Structure 1
Amino acid sequence: MAKNSVRQDENTNSISNKDLIFRLFDYLKPYKLKVFFILVLLIYVMICGLLNPYLMKLAIDKYISQKNLQGLVIIAIVMFILNFLSMIASAASIRMMAKVTNTVLLEIRQQLYKHIQKLSFSFFDNRPVGKILARVIGDVNSLQELFSTSITSFIPEILTLICVTFIMFYMNFQLALVSILVLPFLAITLFSIETISRKRWQIYRKKRSNLNAYTHEDFSGIRVIKGFAEEEKTSSNFLLFTKDMMNSFVKAVRLNDSFWPIVTLSSGVGTVLVFGYGVSLIKWGSMTIGTMVAFISYVSMFWRPIINISNFYNTLITNFAAGERIFEILDIEPDIIDIKNHIMPKIKGTVQFKNLTFSYDNHTNTLNNINFKINPGETIALVGSTGSGKTTIVNLISRFYDATKGEVLIDGKDVKNFTIESLRSQMGIMLQDTFLFSSTIRENIRYGKLDATDEEVIAAAKSANAHNFIINLEKGYDTEVNERGSRLSVGQRQLISFARALLANPRILILDEATSNIDTYTEKLVQEGIQKLLIGRTSFVIAHRLSTIRNADKIMVIDNGNIAEAGTHKELMKLKGLYHDLFMSQYKFLNEAN
């Protein structure tokens, strides 16, 4: 997938109208009995509508002309009862269809959300979060009118059109032919508009997605914006995005608005032709006035479904782009294939890379033919310059990505052969970019083990030396941390994240720059907790402060995707290679700073 920024329009795959319609309406299959009952109600409403002109014909030709008041009253009562029941049936069908539609939208949104969760990091790396939100929320919402009108309007209108056409030809074949003369012109015109209109709605969806992505990014980075006093600039950018969306919407709507005048004009022309020819038939004695009144009513009923079908067609075009964007995401296959029902046994802790090569973009290798084997309980430190491949190694162990070539083995078993959940549930991961959910401290720590007791949560916090600062907060462990933990300092957030990893009681522990944002005093306390946690666990520690990993069982120096050096601290210092130079430069820097 090509990378996409907030300012770049997304490339979406077009789906044929037929395939799109079938895929959308597959979601209605579980509700076919409810839909059938709704259609029964709507057919009753349609029949009542069809009977009204015929009853009017009877009233004029039979009862009014013969001054039969009793028959006229009976006709009036019958019409009242039929139309009253029709009103009730219409209201009931609309309520039922609204419930079905909302349930379907819920299922589509849930399916989309669950599918996105299964997608690999490469999906999120290449697409702004705001554009993903636009599909999950905005595009799904756009389908509401399509589903509701398809059942409550489109199908009944089609049936009405067929029945009215049959009645018209039955009443007067010649007059019926006159009434449909303008249909070919209407069909060609609407089809031509649809071709252009769909493209314009696709553009609008893209522009709206760009605005959504920019807004999300803007508010996520509000501290940086305020810190550099760039509010005016971001407001100007927001206005540009808004104008792009508005202009694309106006262009799309302007074309769609031409549907109504064209259909109305066709209806007017058709009615005038029928009226003119009908008057001639009455003069020639070929048709009664009652039949003419009824036929004009049927002509009106003939064009009404055409107008409504045109509106539905308009709605269909408007929302096709939303459907395409949803199915494009659903059609993306995860890079990481989860082998169902293959549960990773309890991990002992042996980790091995065999001839492993990895590339994020299938062009440039981040890791080149990496080979190593770590025994259970060993602590491995990964050091090297930024971008050398350290984090990529631990990401492959966690199976956030799969190797391009070679194997990642845990206890001699390829990680690809087991479910992701059974693998990661036995790992504890603490990343440099600490993320806390907008919940309480207790719930954030418990995320490492959802069924943990309060006592276990507190014990983990104590081991991470987070307990003391937590109990001094206003509500202690029940303190809300706000979105992304903004209420807490960076160091406090990292301590909570560390407690979360502790609570998981992992067989393999991964610490990626876990102490980078903690002050010296707090780091000392955390290091004590880390030493306790490392006992009996295979651990991978990434740290730029080399003084914190001197006691590691093995230190691997990663340079340009290769293992340049490997050994203990003493062994690497004797080599006087990359590690020696890194360590001495840090040692010299710290001495100068003091």
Structure 2
Amino acid sequence: MAKSVSGSAFDVPLFKRIMAYVKPYNKVFYITSAISIVLAFMAWIRPVLIQVTIDENIKKLDKEGLLMMTLILIGVLIIESILEYFFNYLSNLLGQNVIRDLRNQVFKHVISFKLKHFDNTPIGQLVTRTVSDIETIAEMFSGGILVIISDLLKIFTIITYMFIKQWDLALITLIPIPILFFATSIFKRVIKKAFQEVREQVSVLNTFVQEHITGMSIVQIFNREEVEMDKFSDINKKHRAAHIKTVWAYSIFFPIVEMLSAASIALLVWYGFKEVAEQHATPGIIFSFILFIYMLYRPIRQLADRFNTLQMGMVSSERVFKVLDTNSTIENNGTLSPINLTGNIKFKDVWFAYNDEDWVLKNISIDMKKGESLALVGATGAGKSSIINLLGRYYEINKGEITIDDININDFDLNHLRKTMSIVLQDVFLFSDSILNNITLYSEEITKEQVIEAAKKIGAHEFIAALPNGYEYNVKERGALLSVGQRQLISFIRAYVHQPEILILDEATSSIDSESEALIQHATDVITENRTSIIVAHRLSTIKNADKILVIDKGEIMEEGNHFELIKKDGYYKKLYDYQFKNQIEDEQ
């Protein structure tokens, strides 16, 4: 895992890891580096040309020479402008290519995380890592490492030329430079700390906004607008305070740089014109040194910003690599991808806990044959949904064994295992996309004709066809433009068209009306025919037709049998029946 760079100026191993993403674009990197070197060595050309123009052409009233030098200066400016264009374009292109590859890798890694990781990690934090932090890494190339190299070379070439040209004048002129480096060092430390705080507050802000916009219905239903607004204002205030610290640092540092620059010019004027009077220097040299001073102070002043950009890029890199180094994925070591699964499912003495040994499931054993339907009933939190999550390896069991057709689920290729089953959840998630794409999930194996045929069998074709653009209707984020029942029907069509060997309904009928339930019950009868199906439900009509019912309580199987057998036992199921289902029967009668 990448070590922390918050307390150090530069982390070589981390930087090497970042530069590894540059390898596919080495050609662009080397060309950009070469341009930066050329620009650095061209920095002193214009002041020298101006010096020659003043001393040789203007002083001697050489009009032809003056015209020639003017044209040369214009030519140099054009060449510099062209090189600057390519430098900026290529450095930004390099940065964008790197973050595209890095962002793809991060997202691919994130979608392979165990569900447990998302249970413990704020979604807004992952959004910040995948978007904002990676964008900061791009700035390392467009405004960081390459520009720093160019600026340092520019400073070196200018100072070298100044000492070669007239060392005493250069020495007097550069007296304030040590003070500038000292001020820059202090500024760099202060601004680094301030920007780290800004990044932390951005992450907190993203997490809060993402969470509360997603849960806006709860905020409004419970009249929490003012309370949540106060909490947001407090977070936003901290975010503002963090930014104010950066403004404060800049507002002090830049005037100091300007004063030191003015001091250098004052020293140059005082000493330089004395040298001119004694004929130890020329007016052209003095003028060129003034230009050199401006050319020196600008990159030195910006170096603090450049180093901060580089360092913030490394801090962001550390955070991004921390995500990449997080070993929270389901190991896919299985190799088996049998084509014709029958759907025989066995749980053998399965134990499971989300945290340590706080057991959610205890010694669970289930035996299902092909085409059988199993209903799981029990109080909320009994462990019904956990059984379903284990079958698709969304969570890993702690003890025991789960098999499909006598093959341990760990021996299946994970993608193939999950492809064999379809799950319909109570809380249906739809993407901001068309109904067709939400059903097919962009599978090339499923045609629009198959979707329409499935919708007709389910009984949802009429309502879909009545929508604007029909199957191309955009349901917006999370299917906000559809009713709960309509969203549930679409999820059933989605399960149906994927033709799974195993069907799982996780309280899929608990939030819909009776009319929609009738449609779904019919669809369930069709889709479960000759398929192994596991149903978690609260509706009696769904449960009583199951071949087998398991009564789960506090993670243990208390009773097993069909509806009539369990009623006769007069045990847990009978009590559950009396409490939960009697009203449903009376309503049906």
TM-score by length of 1: 0.88
AA in 1 matched with 2:24? P
Taking the aligned partners of 1:15 and 1:392, their CA distance within structure 2 comes to 43
**Bigger shift: residues 257-266 or 549-558:** 257-266
Query: Which digits, 9 at most, give the CA deviation of each residue in 1:214-267, with x for residues without a partner?
Result: 333333333344444444444444333322221222123323444433444444
Q: CA deviation at 1:527?
A: 2.0
Paired residue for 1:305, among 293, 299, 310? 299
Taking the aligned partners of 2:85 and 2:442, their CA distance within structure 1 comes to 50
AA in 1 matched with 2:345? V
Q: CA deviation at 1:436?
A: 1.8
Report the equivalent of 2:331: 337
Contact 1:464 1:499 survives alignment (8 Å): yes
AA in 1 matched with 2:496? L
Paired residue for 1:124, among 114, 118, 123? 118
**Bigger shift: residues 183-192 or 93-102:** 183-192
Paired residue for 1:527, among 501, 521, 524? 521
Taking the aligned partners of 1:119 and 1:578, their CA distance within structure 2 comes to 37
Contact 2:50 2:288 survives alignment (8 Å): yes
Q: CA deviation at 1:506?
A: 0.4
AA in 2 matched with 1:383? V
Taking the aligned partners of 2:408 and 2:187, their CA distance within structure 1 comes to 55
Superposed, 1:284-433 pairs within 5 Å as: 287-339=281-333, 343=337, 345-433=339-427
Contact 1:384 1:559 survives alignment (8 Å): yes
Taking the aligned partners of 2:173 and 2:21, their CA distance within structure 1 comes to 38
Contact 1:398 1:424 survives alignment (8 Å): yes
Contact 1:344 1:419 survives alignment (8 Å): no
Contact 1:97 1:151 survives alignment (8 Å): no
Taking the aligned partners of 1:353 and 1:336, their CA distance within structure 2 comes to 19
Taking the aligned partners of 2:99 and 2:7, their CA distance within structure 1 comes to 20
AA in 2 matched with 1:375? K
Paired residue for 1:150, among 117, 121, 144? 144
The share of aligned pairs that are identical, in percent, is 35
**Runs of 5+ unmatched residues, structure 2:** none
What's the secondary structure of 1:348's corresponding residue? coil
Paired residue for 1:89, among 73, 83, 91? 83
Contact 1:198 1:320 survives alignment (8 Å): no
What's the secondary structure of 2:143's corresponding residue? helix
CA, structure 1 residues 587+144, in 2 after alignment: closer, same or farther (shift >3 Å)?
closer
CA, structure 1 residues 53+525, in 2 after alignment: closer, same or farther (shift >3 Å)?
closer
Report the equivalent of 2:545: 551
Count of aligned residue pairs for this structure pair: 583
Contact 2:5 2:315 survives alignment (8 Å): no
Q: Does 2:572 match 1:572?
A: no
Paired residue for 1:112, among 106, 110, 132? 106
Taking the aligned partners of 2:52 and 2:442, their CA distance within structure 1 comes to 78
AA in 2 matched with 1:150? G
Contact 1:356 1:404 survives alignment (8 Å): yes
Paired residue for 1:492, among 486, 507, 523? 486
Paired residue for 1:133, among 105, 121, 127? 127
Paired residue for 2:48, among 25, 33, 54? 54
Taking the aligned partners of 1:215 and 1:368, their CA distance within structure 2 comes to 39
Q: CA deviation at 1:117?
A: 1.4
AA in 1 matched with 2:530? G
CA, structure 1 residues 173+210, in 2 after alignment: closer, same or farther (shift >3 Å)?
same
AA in 2 matched with 1:404? N
Taking the aligned partners of 2:460 and 2:208, their CA distance within structure 1 comes to 36
Taking the aligned partners of 2:541 and 2:341, their CA distance within structure 1 comes to 30
TM-score by length of 2: 0.88
Contact 1:264 1:307 survives alignment (8 Å): no
Q: CA deviation at 1:140?
A: 3.1
Contact 1:140 1:326 survives alignment (8 Å): yes
Query: Which digits, 9 at most, give the CA deviation of each residue in 1:531-576, with x for residues without a partner?
Result: 2322222211111224422232322222112222223333333332
AA in 2 matched with 1:568? N
Contact 2:95 2:140 survives alignment (8 Å): no
Taking the aligned partners of 2:180 and 2:401, their CA distance within structure 1 comes to 63
Report the equivalent of 2:505: 511
Report the equivalent of 2:241: 247
Taking the aligned partners of 1:405 and 1:282, their CA distance within structure 2 comes to 91
Contact 1:182 1:270 survives alignment (8 Å): yes
Q: CA deviation at 1:83?
A: 1.9
CA, structure 1 residues 541+310, in 2 after alignment: closer, same or farther (shift >3 Å)?
same
What's the secondary structure of 1:376's corresponding residue? coil
Report the equivalent of 1:468: 462
Paired residue for 1:212, among 206, 210, 213? 206
Taking the aligned partners of 1:297 and 1:95, their CA distance within structure 2 comes to 27
Taking the aligned partners of 2:287 and 2:455, their CA distance within structure 1 comes to 85
Paired residue for 1:501, among 495, 498, 502? 495
Report the equivalent of 1:446: 440
Taking the aligned partners of 1:296 and 1:448, their CA distance within structure 2 comes to 64
Calculate the aligned-residue CA RMSD, in Å.
3.1
Q: Does 2:191 match 1:200?
A: no
**Runs of 5+ unmatched residues, structure 1:** 1-11
CA, structure 1 residues 404+94, in 2 after alignment: closer, same or farther (shift >3 Å)?
same
Query: Which digits, 9 at most, give the CA deviation of each residue in 1:117-144, with x for residues without a partner?
Result: 1222122222333333333333333444
Taking the aligned partners of 2:557 and 2:268, their CA distance within structure 1 comes to 87
